[in-house]
């Protein structure tokens, strides 16, 4: 007998429309770190592999409800903004629903994500200065919302400030973590706009209200230095996220203004969580470590939560020996340019006469084998 889909499994907690699109999202595994955690002195570090959702990111949990709501309302097309992963998820769900989809995306969206959106048949439009510049981003968002509304099309954005009902789908991540990492003390989440953080916090709150948990784990917000809208205000004890000019190279986390950030801060404080700012080059290094030491390939944003956990461990800010969970948000194939470092250095093809020597070199230096051509 087939297992019920994500939304059917958690229907009691979610506003599920009749047309919700189930591509098999959710039920992603949580695996224990073999190398990175022990090396950092973290007794039980675990990774939630959201990269294994159908389109390669946690945004599928949002998109199935978003497209379902449009279909249930008789809306004939999807118009959305995205920095990458939301667009891919909406494009896939729209394709499954037979709905045309137009995506207005960040100018710097990675080629892998753009190609993925187009593969699902979406009409993709890059918009100059969108996402990076706070004032221009607000203007673009307002123009898009007005243009879509004038045509009877509610703009789709993966943020509670815009699409709160569809964002509830991301709460399912917390329900799964409660089963897969029972007793977790700390959960680390990357923050761009803040919607993921808010959804996970709301999911844990559902479980507490239902009596399934005594209380939530501490939820920690992690940002790259180039998009510090939440972390510094949170650590300073301030109540509001701030606007910045985004200079981060981390796709998906460059949201320059307060979307769900202030709400995320309030949830972090309510759980006893903190903010952690991590260096851009450190994120790239950790992306490589996850691949080479754990066998897990993520886009840079997917490594951000792990960088935050390591920073917290170094500062002695973890809650003890309880499980520490990092949410790895997106697959490495979404941002192939970020992999050019570890993939660089390929020489010309070798001849058959060189095969034996290459194997001997592998045996002589197994730790360096992955750098070979």
Rounded to the nearest angstrom, the gap between the alpha carbon of residue 19 and the centroid of all alpha carbons in its chain is 24
The residue ranking higher by pLDDT, 114 or 362, is 114
Q: What is the pLDDT of residues 263-311, one digit of tens each?
A: 999 999 999 999 999 999 999 999 999 999 999 999 999 999 999 999 9
Show the tokens assigned to 173: 């991540």
The predicted structure's pLDDT at residue 342: 46
Query: Rounded to whole angstroms, how far apart are CA atoms 140 and 49?
Result: 33
Question: Which of residues 181 and 349 earns the better pLDDT score?
Answer: 181
Say how many residues make up the chain.
373
pLDDT above 80: residue 345:
no
Share of the chain above pLDDT 70, in %: 95
Structural domain boundaries in the chain: 6-57+166-337, 60-161
Question: How confident is the model over 69-97, as a mean pLDDT?
Answer: 95
DSSP 352: G
Q: What is the pLDDT of residues 9-51, one digit of tens each?
A: 999 999 999 999 999 999 999 999 999 999 999 999 999 999 9
Whether residue 338 contacts residue 59, with contact meaning beta carbons closer than 8 Å, is answered with no
The residue written with tokens 């970020």 in the block is 338
**Tens-digit pLDDT profile for residues 164-221:** 999 999 999 999 999 999 899 999 999 999 999 999 999 999 999 999 999 999 999 9
Q: What is the pLDDT of residue 221?
A: 98
The Cα–Cα gap between 347 and 207 comes to 54
Contact 219, 201 (CB under 8 A): yes
Element containing residue 356 per DSSP (H, E): helix 355-364
Q: Tell me the per-residue pLDDT of 302-340, one tens digit each, with 9 for 90 and over.
A: 999 999 999 999 999 998 889 999 999 999 998 888 776
For residue 2, pLDDT over 70 is answered with: no
Residue 238: per-residue pLDDT: 96
Number of separate helices (H) and strands (E) present in the chain: 15, 9
Please tell me if the domain spanning 6-57+166-337 has the same topology as the one spanning 60-161.
yes
User: How open is the CA angle 7-216-214, to the nearest 5 degrees?
Assistant: 100
With a CB cutoff of 8 Å and minimum separation 6, the contacts of 161 are 259, 260
pLDDT of residue 343: 46
Average pLDDT of span 342-350: 65
Per the structure block, which two tokens stand in for 245? 């000019």
Token pair, residue 197, equals 């953080």
Rounded CA-CA distance 339/331 in Å is 11
Q: What is the mean pLDDT of residues 151-163?
A: 95
Buried b (16+ CB within 10 A) or exposed e, 114-126: bebbeebebebee
Candidates 18, 45, 48; CA nearest to 34 is 45
The stretch 345-361 carries a mean pLDDT of 82
The CATH fold assigned to 6-57+166-337 is: Rossmann fold (3.40.50)
Residue position matching structure tokens 């990076």: 132
CATH 2.60.120.260 fits 60-161, yes or no: no
């Amino acid at each position: 007998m087939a297992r019920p889909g994500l939304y059917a499994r958690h229907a009691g907690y979610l506003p599920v429309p009749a047309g919700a699109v189930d591509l098999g999202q959710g039920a992603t595994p949580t695996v224990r770190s073999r190398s990175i955690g022990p090396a950092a002195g973290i007794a039980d570090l675990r990774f939630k592999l959201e990269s294994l959702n159908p389109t390669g990111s946690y945004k599928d949990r949002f998109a199935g409800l978003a497209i379902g709501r449009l279909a249930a309302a008789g809306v004939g097309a999807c118009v959305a903004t995205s920095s990458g992963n939301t667009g891919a998820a909406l494009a896939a769900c729209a394709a499954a629903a037979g709905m045309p989809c137009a995506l207005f995306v960040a100018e710097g969206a990675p080629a892998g994500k753009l190609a993925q959106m187009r593969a699902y048949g979406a009409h993709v439009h890059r918009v100059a200065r969108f996402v990076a510049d706070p004032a221009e981003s607000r203007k673009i968002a307002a123009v898009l919302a007005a243009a879509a509304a004038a045509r009877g099309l509610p703009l789709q954005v993966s943020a509670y400030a815009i699409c709160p009902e569809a964002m509830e789908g991301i709460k399912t991540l917390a329900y799964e973590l409660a089963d897969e990492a029972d007793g977790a003390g700390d959960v680390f989440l990357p923050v761009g706009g803040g919607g993921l953080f808010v959804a996970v916090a709301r999911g844990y709150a559902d479980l507490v209200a239902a009596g399934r948990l005594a209380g939530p784990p501490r939820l920690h917000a992690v940002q790259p230095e180039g998009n510090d809208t939440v972390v510094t205000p949170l650590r300073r004890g301030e109540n509001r996220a701030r606007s910045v000019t985004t200079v981060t190279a981390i796709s998906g986390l460059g949201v320059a203004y307060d979307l769900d950030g202030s709400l995320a801060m309030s949830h972090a404080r309510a759980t006893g969580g903190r903010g952690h700012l991590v260096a851009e080059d450190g994120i790239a290094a950790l992306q490589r470590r996850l691949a080479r030491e754990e066998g897990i390939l993520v886009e840079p944003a997917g490594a951000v939560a792990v960088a935050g956990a390591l920073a917290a461990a170094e500062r002695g800010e973890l809650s003890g020996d309880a499980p520490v969970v990092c949410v790895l948000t997106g697959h490495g194939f979404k941002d192939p340019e970020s992999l050019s470092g570890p993939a660089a250095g390929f020489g010309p093809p070798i001849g058959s006469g060189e095969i034996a020597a290459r194997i001997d070199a592998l045996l002589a230096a197994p730790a360096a084998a992955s750098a070979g051509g």
